[in-house]
Amino acid sequence: MRIMIMGASGAGATTLGDYFVKNNDRFLHLDSDNYFWKKTEPLFQEARIDDERNSLFENDFYSHKDVVVTGSIFHWHTNYKFLFDLVVLLYIPQELRMQRLSEREISRYGDKILFDEKLNAKYKAFLVWAAEYDLEENTSSRSLRQQKQWLTEVQCATLFLDGDLTIKERFDILQNHIS
């Protein structure tokens, strides 16, 4: 079975994917950030070129029968909408999501994110980008509108989980859906 879990940055897709795989050890977890971004120090500084990203992703994706993909790959390749047996879209209110993102980034980078000029500028730009997810008029990057549209185009079952559910509640819903 091939499952895609997506949503806004900070909605909990990676967390749910990790939890799901820990409780379903036959699945391989592929997080989109590991393919989109080159491994840099600090993290998330340099994106891969599209062909390299897609090649790495497809090699791992096709190497395993049961896969959970987390993050946002819906715009990487038009054929990706045909890869999955289930696509899950997570949504939490913007205010809560932005608070979680800010806390996550400060936890990830420490005080350096506040005082290093270059890192701070990237942090602020990231938060602006992440907040745009909820804007109806956002057409330049990942958005709720675009992801909901993708749900209507995929050729598989879909699930929309709306609200601040616990990881266990989300897992139980997903587990019941695939059982």
**Is the model's pLDDT at 141 over the cut of 80?**
no
- Are 6 and 158 in contact by the 8 Å Cβ rule? The answer is no
Asked if the bond preceding 42 is cis, omega within 30° of 0, the reply is yes
pLDDT at 33: 95
Greater model confidence, 115 or 179:
115
pLDDT at 176: 96
Q: b/e for 92-117, b at 16 or more Cβ within 10 A? A: bebeebbebbbeebeeebeeebeeee
pLDDT at 99: 97
pLDDT at 138: 72
Q: Rounded CA gap, 114 and 92, in Å?
A: 26
Sorted by where each begins, the domain ranges of the chain are 2-93+141-178
Whole-structure pTM value: 0.93
The closest alpha carbon to 24, from 61, 60, 65, 73, belongs to: 65
Q: Rounded CA gap, 8 and 162, in Å?
A: 12
Q: Where are the beta strands (DSSP E) in 37-177?
A: 67-70, 86-91, 157-162
Q: Rounded CA gap, 33 and 44, in Å?
A: 8
Reported as a pLDDT band with limits 50, 70 and 90, residue 74 is: confident
Greater model confidence, 89 or 136:
89
Reported as a pLDDT band with limits 50, 70 and 90, residue 42 is: confident
pLDDT at 43: 80
Q: Which stretch of 34-43, 66-75, 119-128, 132-141 has the lowest confidence by average pLDDT?
A: 132-141
> What's the CATH superfamily of 2-93+141-178?
P-loop containing nucleotide triphosphate hydrolases (3.40.50.300)
**Is the model's pLDDT at 7 over the cut of 80?**
yes
Reported as a pLDDT band with limits 50, 70 and 90, residue 62 is: very high
**Is the model's pLDDT at 139 over the cut of 80?**
no
